[in-house]
Amino acid sequence: MKILIAGAAGRLGRALADPLEQRWQVVSLARDELDITSESAVRAALDSHQPELVINAAAFTDVDGAESRPEAAREANALGPRNLARETLRREAALLSFSTDYVFDGAKKTAYDENDAPAPLSVYGESKLAGEEEIRRHNPRHFIVRTAWLYDNRGESFARRAIELAANHAEVRIVDDQRGSPTFVPHLAAAVARLAATDAFGTHHIAGSGGCSRLEFAGELYGRLGISTRLVAAKTADFPAAARRPSNSELTTSRQRAIELPPWREGVAEFASRARD
């Protein structure tokens, strides 16, 4: 199989090539090589490379920035996926695209599965949900992978910021009223390679198994890394932000042929062991 990755220079895009290249031929295109908001550029890339599967890792991911730039978020997160869905259908290719736990409002007390109704609180969440709908409308051979709280040993993430804060503060305040599923990017990338080998089209929740608060996540990171900086519980309201975030967006799956990730703590353990290397 030949696979084309769009948004290949992003946090997730960079990690995908490695597990996919072990089985398939992969073409990785960063934003300056393929802008997914351009229908003609998408068409030209698909005509030139003729992939059987397109993986869309491109997105506008600035959750707070989207509140003041809704058009930019919509273009990348809804129009881009529409272009990819239409053009993959035209070429009889499949499309795998990523979405987010932020399509949910957090009112549920337990983990969200694929049957729960989305109700985004933010412009970012709305734009990602619109992208999902475009894909469902335009190409039935799609995988929509909702994931959450991505972190890796390179690039920006909540995990990396929490560690940096510990380096120059006596104590670090982290919210305990946002719950989610921390997802170690290499685990997700390996799972995407397993999913790509199937024809289990539709929507999949793929995130670190189980859930925790941001404070628990930071505590596990500090513990694994031997960081002794004191963690102090804070509330979301203590850190005013442009976008509203769900208080609970833990993900689980109801799919029979589920592609599951290891428990989120195993992701932290692997992150810590790579950080020490």
Q: Which listed range, 85-93, 105-113, 145-153, 239-247, lies at the site for ligand NAP (CB under 6 A)?
A: 145-153
Task: Measure the CA–CA gap between 47 and 52, rounded to whole angstroms.
Answer: 11
Q: Report the SS3 class of residue 185.
A: helix
The vertex-121 CA angle with 158 and 189, nearest 5°, equals 45
Task: Measure the CA–CA gap between 254 and 115, rounded to whole angstroms.
Answer: 8
* Residue 236: strand pairing partners: none
Q: Which of residues 202-261 bind ligand NAP (CB under 6 A)?
A: none
Min separation Cβ 188 and ligand NAP, Å? 9
- Asked if 98 touches ligand NAP (CB under 6 A), the answer is yes
For residues 42 and 95, is the Cβ–Cβ distance under 8 A?
no
Q: Which listed range, 2-10, 189-197, 210-218, 231-239, lies at the site for ligand NAP (CB under 6 A)?
A: 2-10
Structure tokens at 100: 């987010």
Q: Which listed range, 55-63, 106-114, 229-237, 268-276, lies at the site for ligand NAP (CB under 6 A)?
A: 55-63
Residue span 152-191 as binding mask against ligand NAP, x where in contact by CB under 6 A, dash where not: ----------------------------------------
Task: Measure the CA–CA gap between 81 and 67, rounded to whole angstroms.
Answer: 20
Q: Is 151 a catalytic residue?
A: no
- Which residues here bind ligand NAP, judged by CB under 6 A? 6-7, 9-13, 31, 34-37, 57-61, 76, 80, 98, 100-101, 128, 147-150
